[in-house]
Amino acid sequence: MSTSEPTAEAVFNNPFGTRITPDEVIDTISFFDDWEERYRYIIDLGKQLPEFPQSLKNEELLVRGCQSQVWLLAREDQPNSIVQLAVDSDALIVRGLAAIVLAAYNGKSSRDILAFDIEHYFDQIDLLKHLSPTRGNGLRSMVKKIQLHAENMSR
């Protein structure tokens, strides 16, 4: 389990799961009818994730199976027993997709994380249809990593 250093506090400061909810993402994406607006929105979502300091862009936090590099950090907020998530990537679109995943999971309890139907979520935003299997795999391995964190925390 990775725990954050005090200097890394800022990376958890993102609006996903709180101000930006899965429903909002679904509504906004389905509103767009052309690819340009959809991709601009996804990239803009990614820009709302604070960048990781170099020290956090390490092997341990790296998500396997992504074509570009994705780093994921998770911690448990003890008194409330919720999972806080931070993510960064060196690619803009993947960063946006990771933000969309965070909208579903960040600030939730382990129980809520494990109960969330992520496939249904992806279907609703038509997300994986636009992704090649390799890109979809990267996103899925990020989801797996979050679910694993949640399982470990609920023990």
Task: Kindly write down the DSSP assignment for every residue of 49-64, as one continuous string.
Answer: SPPPPGGGSSGGGBPT
Whether 53 contacts 79, CB under 8 Å:
no
| Contact range with other proteins by CB under 8 A, out of 12-20, 34-42, 109-117, 141-149 | 34-42
Q: Mask of contacts with other proteins, 121-140, x by CB under 8 A?
A: --------------x-----
Q: Is 66 marked active-site?
A: yes
**Residues between 72 and 101 with contacts to other proteins, criterion CB under 8 A:** 90-94
Rounded least distance, CB 41 to other proteins, Å: 11
Q: Does 32 bind other proteins (CB under 8 A)?
A: no
By the rule CB under 8 A, 43 interacts with other proteins: yes
Q: Which residues contact 127 (CB under 8 A, 6 or more apart)?
A: 29, 97, 100, 139
Please report how close the Cβ of residue 58 comes to other proteins at its closest, in angstroms.
16
CA atoms of 79 and 117, how far apart (whole Å) = 26
CA distance 20 to 36: 21
Please, are residues 110 and 75 in contact by the beta-carbon 8 Å criterion? Answer: no
Q: Which residues are the active-site residues?
A: 66
* Contact footprint for other proteins (CB under 8 A): 35-36, 39-40, 43, 67-69, 90-94, 135
